[in-house]
């Protein structure tokens, strides 16, 4: 019997075994089912697994060739099969002198050359040598980009605010909804504002439309010549950048072997580097790299990304959990779930294998979450007493983000809540309470702890989830690096946009629902 079938049988056999019983039968469980790497401690003892489960999951990883796929990814093989490309985000944080080849070319010197250019630019903006068109200092940065060109940098900016200069404020515009740009520009002085137009392809409609509107806002106040001082680009598409009117001297490049959702540590992180400086950025890359090394070199039974991936597969494919909650007991990680949604669901929301056949079971669980303690006063009721199985990842830090005794005391309260929630979910209430007061327990969770939230620990955390997503994709035999599913909606929006814009009544050939919605919208807008 293969490991998959064995796990199915094992899930049935152990369905009645509760976490309460598992802990009672093994007093060392809480310390035994834990692993450490790159500054992160993972406690997975509150997952519904035993040693036999782990053995089978590790056998599954063996059968699905996880070790070979890890080597293939690190070695620059074209693991992005449908786009025939490597996925080499690990090269973005490789130390100088490491050799990583893409089709015979060592890309590490290219990576470091861009990092150095970014560093020189960021230093000039940060110390005031790079001025606006009128000779004044830049005080505000607006990053215009969407998806991977927004979520990572936006998440990191909030996460690392304590490491950021107070001289610069960074804002983010992603949505093509005019409200997004309006809000970002509110109160800003064009003479003090630098725009980063961030788009791997430089064809993304929302980003280009927002960038054009920003450009009009800037040039209306400062004149056409101001573009050179107030706009820089991050892209792989030099021609697109030129066509937009940004001098390639003001462009920071990356490569098609970096997926958008794996790019926050490339030039896409320019806003992060402006905020925390080149040294802070290097520290973040070192955190990423430390987790890369841990992932590549650590035996699977102690390997954080592999364990997290296998636990996710167990919960999703064998225990039937459709979602994965991620709850950070850190307000500064408030955007982490949104970042993870693209990372996990754009990567693994797939229904065919790399061979083109249908996948055998469910892929990408729905990632969602918020911060603790806020979530406790909202959706946690459903986690404690609802009917669905919702595995949780709890993320917390041991050191308070400040020195005062009061900050430390409040941090203790925050972390007390993290520990209490894991305990309450796992063990529930005594059974002699009235039914409406009973919490059944047996809800699985993992806890991730690091010393403190720094560029280093953030980099390691992101790499942990990146690699966990990759291992899950490998188990399901899917391409975790393409995203063809998003194309259809883009094409339909292009057709529909022209129908909404047309002055004369357009001949509509959609379904009756879409036709009726378009007609109604046009009528409301005073069009035939
Ligand atoms: O539409 C999905 C997507 O292609 C993402 O994969 C990507 O991160 C995002 O759009 C933005 O793309 P770009 O950086 O090319 O503008």
- The answer on 206 and 113 residing in a single domain is yes
- When pLDDT is averaged across residues 311-320 and rounded to a whole number, the result is 98
Cα 59–Cα 61–Cα 67 angle in degrees, nearest 5: 120
The answer to whether residues 236 and 315 belong to one domain is: no
| In-domain check, residue 87 | no
Place of tokens 């203790």: 412
Whole-number Å distance, alpha carbon 207 to ligand 1 midpoint, is 10
- Give the number of the atom of ligand 1 that is nearest the alpha carbon of residue 268: 14
The domain tally of the chain equals 3
- Ligand 1 geometric centre to CA of 336 (Å): 18
How many other CB atoms are there within 10 angstroms of residue 133's CB atom?
A: 18
Q: Is the CB of 235 under 6 A from ligand 1?
A: no
Q: Which atom of ligand 1 is nearest to the CA of 263?
A: 8
Please give the backbone phi and psi of residue 96, each rounded to the nearest 5 degrees, phi first.
Answer: -55, 135
Task: Name the DSSP letter for residue 441.
Answer: -
Q: 483: CA distance to ligand 1 center in Å?
A: 9
**How far is ligand 1, taken at its centre, from the CA of residue 334, in Å?**
22
Q: Are 322 and 463 in the same domain?
A: yes
- Same domain as 449, residue 343: yes
pLDDT class for 403, splitting at 50, 70, 90? Answer: confident
Q: 495 and 478 in one domain?
A: no
CB atoms within 10 A of CB 323: 16
* CA atoms of 34 and 45, how far apart (whole Å): 7
Nearest to 395 by CA among 341, 456, 453, 348: 453
Q: Per the domain annotation, does 447 fall within a domain?
A: yes
Are 455 and 505 found together in one domain?
no
Q: How far is the CA of 338 from the centre of ligand 1 (A)?
A: 15
* Contact by Cβ (8 Å): 455, 160: yes
Q: Which helix (H) or strand (E) holds 359?
A: none
> Among 146, 154, 267, 490, which is best to mutate for testing ligand 1, by the most ligand atoms less than 8 A from CB?
146
Average pLDDT in the 74-88 region? Answer: 97
Pair 175, 257 in one domain = yes
Whether the pLDDT of residue 153 is over 90: the answer is yes
Q: Are residues 310 and 266 in the same domain?
A: no
Average pLDDT of 459-487?
98
Indicate which CATH number applies to the domain containing 192: 3.40.50.10490
- H or E element in which residue 125 lies: helix 108-127
Return the H-helix or E-strand segment holding 129.
none
Return the ligand 1 atom nearest residue 148 CA. 8
**Nearest to 386, CA basis, from 424, 427, 440:** 440
Answer left, alpha or beta for residue 65, where phi above 0 means left and psi between -120 and 50 means alpha: left
* C-beta 152 within 6 A of ligand 1: no
Pocket test for ligand 1, best of 82, 87, 143, 147 (most atoms within 8 A of CB): 147
Does any domain span residue 242?
yes
Ligand 1 neighbour 146 (Cβ under 6 A)? yes
Copy the structure tokens of residue 156.
């990191």
pLDDT score, position 119? 98
Residue 151 beta carbon below 6 angstroms from any ligand 1 atom: no
CA dist., res. 475 & res. 365, Å (int): 14
For residue 452, count CB atoms less than 10 angstroms from its CB and return exposed for 0-12, middle for 13-18, buried for 19 or more: middle
Query: How far is ligand 1, taken at its centre, from the CA of residue 303, in Å?
Result: 30
**CA–centroid distance, residue 239 to ligand 1 (Å):** 18
In a domain, 41, yes or no: yes
Distance between CA atoms of 384 and 521, rounded to whole angstroms?
A: 43
The answer to whether the CB of 486 is under 6 A from ligand 1 is yes
- Reported pTM: 0.98
CA separation for the pair 426, 484 (Å, rounded): 39
> Residue 66 CA to chain centroid, in angstroms?
22
Are residues 118 and 38 both part of a single domain? no
Under 8 Å between Cβ of 267 and 230: no
Q: What does the alpha-carbon distance between residue 479 and residue 393 come to, in Å, rounded to a whole number?
A: 24
Residues 333, 455 within the same domain = yes
CA distance 271 to 169: 10
In this predicted structure, the answer to whether residue 278 has a pLDDT above a threshold of 90 is yes
Structural domain span for residue 494: 487-524
Share of the chain above pLDDT 90, in %: 99
Each residue of 322-371: pLDDT tens digit? 999 999 999 999 999 999 999 999 999 999 999 999 999 999 999 999 99
pLDDT band at 402 (very low <50, low <70, confident <90, very high): confident
Tokens of 446: 């993992």
Number of C-beta neighbours around residue 205 at 10 A: 13
Q: What pLDDT, on a 0 to 100 scale, did the predictor assign at position 1?
A: 83
Q: What local confidence, expressed as pLDDT, does residue 326 receive?
A: 98
Give, in order, the Cα–Cα distances in Å from 319 to each of 44, 77, 380, 442, 469. Answer: 16, 34, 20, 12, 19
Q: Is 260 in the pocket of ligand 1 (CB under 6 A)?
A: yes
**Has residue 91 been placed in a domain?**
no
Q: How confident is the model at residue 486 (pLDDT cuts 50, 70, 90)?
A: very high
Same domain, 446 and 404: yes
- Catalytic residues, by residue number, are 346, 377, 490
Segments in 356-509 forming alpha helices (H):
380-385, 405-427, 455-476, 487-501
With the most atoms of ligand 1 within 8 angstroms of its CB, the residue from 143, 201, 205 to mutate is 201
Dihedral of the CA atoms 313, 315, 318, 322 (nearest 10)? -100
Is residue 155 predicted with pLDDT exceeding 90? yes
The pLDDT of 380-393, averaged and rounded, is: 98
- 40 shares a domain with 112: no
pLDDT(310) > 90: yes
86 within a domain of the structure (yes/no)? no
Residues paired with 131 in a beta bridge: 137
199: Cβ below 6 Å to ligand 1?
yes
Please report whether residue 89 resides in a domain: no
Question: Is there a contact between 237 and 252 (Cβ–Cβ < 8 Å)?
Answer: no
Query: What is the Cα–Cα distance from 395 to 372, expressed in whole angstroms?
Result: 9
Please give the mean pLDDT across all residues of the chain. 97
Residue 417, Cβ neighbours under 10 Å: how many?
A: 16
Q: Judge if the beta carbon of residue 204 lies within 6 A of ligand 1.
A: yes
Nearest CA to ligand 1 atom 16: 199
Cα dihedral 299, 304, 306, 308 sign: positive
Residue 71 lies in a domain: no
In short, whether 237's Cβ falls inside 6 Å of ligand 1 is no
Confidence grade of residue 93 (pLDDT, cut at 50, 70, 90) = very high
Q: Which atom of ligand 1 is nearest to the CA of 486?
A: 1
Look up residue 237 and give its two tokens.
């598409």
Among 83, 89, 143, 149, residue to substitute to test ligand 1 (most atoms within 8 Å of Cβ): 149
Distance 261 CA to ligand 1 centre (A): 8
Q: How far apart are CA 12 and CA 320, in angstroms?
A: 12
- Average pLDDT (66-87) is 97
Structure tokens at 148: 């991977």
Q: Is 261 in the pocket of ligand 1 (CB under 6 A)?
A: yes
Q: Is the pLDDT of residue 401 over 90?
A: no
> CA distances (Å), 390 to each of 8, 27, 375, in order?
19, 25, 14
């Amino acid at each position: 019997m293969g490991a998959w079938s064995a796990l199915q049988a094992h899930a049935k056999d152990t369905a009645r075994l509760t976490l309460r019983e598992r802990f009672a039968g093994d007093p060392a469980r809480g310390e035994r089912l834990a692993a450490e790497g790159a500054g992160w401690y993972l406690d997975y003892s509150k997952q519904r697994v035993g040693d036999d489960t782990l053995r089978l999951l590790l056998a599954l990883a063996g059968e699905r060739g996880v070790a070979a796929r890890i080597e293939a990814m690190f070695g620059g093989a074209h693991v992005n099969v449908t786009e025939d490309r490597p996925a080499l985000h690990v090269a973005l944080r490789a130390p100088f002198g490491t050799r990583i080849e893409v089709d015979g070319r060592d890309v590490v010197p290219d990576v470091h050359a861009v990092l150095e250019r970014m560093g020189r630019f960021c230093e000039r903006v940060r110390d005031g040598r790079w001025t606006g068109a009128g000779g004044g200092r830049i005080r505000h940065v607006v990053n215009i980009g969407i998806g991977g060109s927004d979520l990572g940098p936006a998440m990191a900016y909030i996460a690392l605010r304590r490491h950021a200069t107070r001289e610069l404020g960074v804002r983010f515009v992603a949505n093509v909804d005019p409200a997004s740009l309006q809000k970002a520009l509110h109160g800003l002085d064009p003479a003090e504002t630098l725009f980063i137009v961030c788009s791997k392809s430089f064809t993304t409609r929302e980003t280009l439309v927002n960038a054009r509107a920003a450009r009009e806002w800037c040039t209306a106040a400062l004149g056409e010549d101001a573009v050179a001082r107030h706009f820089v680009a991050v892209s792989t598409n030099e021609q697109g950048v030129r066509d937009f009117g940004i001098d390639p001297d003001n462009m920071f490049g990356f490569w098609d072997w970096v997926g958008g959702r794996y790019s926050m540590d490339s030039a896409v992180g320019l806003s992060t580097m402006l905020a925390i400086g080149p040294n802070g950025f290097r520290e973040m890359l070192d955190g990423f790299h430390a987790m890369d090394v841990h992932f590549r070199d650590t035996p699977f039974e102690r390997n954080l990304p592999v364990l997290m991936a296998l636990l996710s597969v167990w919960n999703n494919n064998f225990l039937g959990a459709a979602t994965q909650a991620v709850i950070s007991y850190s307000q500064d990680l408030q955007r982490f779930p949104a970042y993870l949604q693209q990372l996990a669901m754009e990567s693994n929301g797939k229904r065919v294998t790399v061979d083109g056949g249908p996948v055998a079971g469910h892929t990408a669980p729905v990632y969602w979450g918020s911060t603790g303690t806020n979530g406790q006063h909202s959706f946690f009721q459903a986690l404690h007493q609802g009917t669905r199985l919702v595995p949780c990842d709890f993320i917390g830090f041991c050191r308070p983000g400040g020195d005062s005794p009061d900050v430390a005391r409040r941090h203790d309260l925050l972390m007390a809540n993290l520990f209490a929630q894991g305990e309450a979910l796992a063990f529930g209430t005594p059974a002699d309470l009235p039914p409406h007061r009973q919490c059944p327990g047996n809800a699985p969770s993992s806890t991730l702890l690091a010393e403190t939230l720094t560029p280093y620990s953030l980099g390691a955390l992101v790499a942990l989830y990146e690699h966990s997503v990759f291992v899950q994709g490998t188990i399901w035999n899917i391409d975790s690096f393409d995203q063809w599913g998003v194309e259809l909606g883009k094409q339909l929006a292009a057709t529909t946009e022209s129908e909404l814009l047309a002055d004369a009544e357009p001949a509509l050939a959609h379904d009756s629902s879409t036709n009726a919605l378009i007609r109604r919208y046009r009528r409301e807008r005073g069009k035939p």
